[in-house]
A and B are shown apart, each in its own frame.
Chain A
Amino acid sequence: EAGVVQSPRYKIIEKKQPVAFWCNPISGHNTLYWYLQNLGQGPELLIRYENEEAVDDSQLPKDRFSAERLKGVDSTLKIQPAELGDSAVYLCASSSGWDPYRTDTQYFGPGTRLTVL
């Protein structure tokens, strides 16, 4: 079974430029998460999707960040415009959410390392 796929693995951009990250979750996983991980720290949740619906985006900086999950499978996270402080690793995770009364284990992708110059 293929794991969570993310692309690109690395991205270097100039500040004020736009950037997008793509995530393909494990087949059949209807819950998808985007996290931001700063160097030497634990991941911080940005947004969680249940199928196509963003059910928790309270930590997403909506002035410059946006996300979408069309058709409830792949997801894209966008930053426009990027700032120096956005340099970090962006992680995607998915879990099987068929039972709404249980938490299911999250499986993580390799992440995208963003460097903003």
Chain B
Amino acid sequence: AQTVTQSQPEMSVQEAETVTLSCTYDTSESNYYLFWYKQPPSRQMILVIRQEAYKQQNATENRFSVNFQKAAKSFSLKISDSQLGDTAMYFCAFMKPRRMVYGQNFVFGPGTRLSVLP
């Protein structure tokens, strides 16, 4: 069974600074996908970034980038130039390819609550 761990329940960062959120996972699969989702206080879950395990290059989306270490099963999220609107819960998620019909197809971590301070 797949598990996702986020060891930082809460973090804070000053506006305009950089912060890194940690995520580790456990799987015996070789082909999978990893995601970071953001959930602001309004509760709408929003995709931040996605990484495919077969790609060695780390994904980037504007101010958001990941450090994907497949051998270490680590998938951290770096937020550069933090903005007040980045305040939210951040969830790391693991997903097996959809052809794996049954089982833990999609697993979320427990989340990290990030507060961006003015």
Contacts and interface: CB of A to CB of B under 8 A. Distances in A.
Interface stretch (A14-22, A73-81, A101-109): A101-109
A107 B45 CA distance: 8
A94 interface: no
A43 B91 CA distance: 9
A104 B105 CA distance: 12
Given A41-B110, A44-B108, A103 B102 contact: no
A109 B43 CA distance: 9
B33 A103 contact: yes
A27 to B, nearest CB: 18
A89 B43 contact: yes
Nearest to A93: B45
A109 to B, nearest CB: 8
A31 interface: yes
A103 B98 contact: yes
B106 A106 contact: yes
B95 A103 contact: yes
B118 interface: no
Nearest to B102: A56
Given A103-B33, A105-B35, A110-B42, A45 B105 contact: yes
A56 B101 contact: yes
A93 B104 CA distance: 16
Interface of B: 4, 32-33, 35, 37, 42-47, 50, 91, 93, 95-99, 101-106, 108-111
Interface of A: 31, 33, 40-45, 48, 55-56, 58, 89, 91, 93, 97, 100-111, 113
Given A45-B106, A93-B45, 7 more contacts: A33-B106, A58-B103, A103-B32, A103-B96, A108-B45, A110-B43, A111-B43
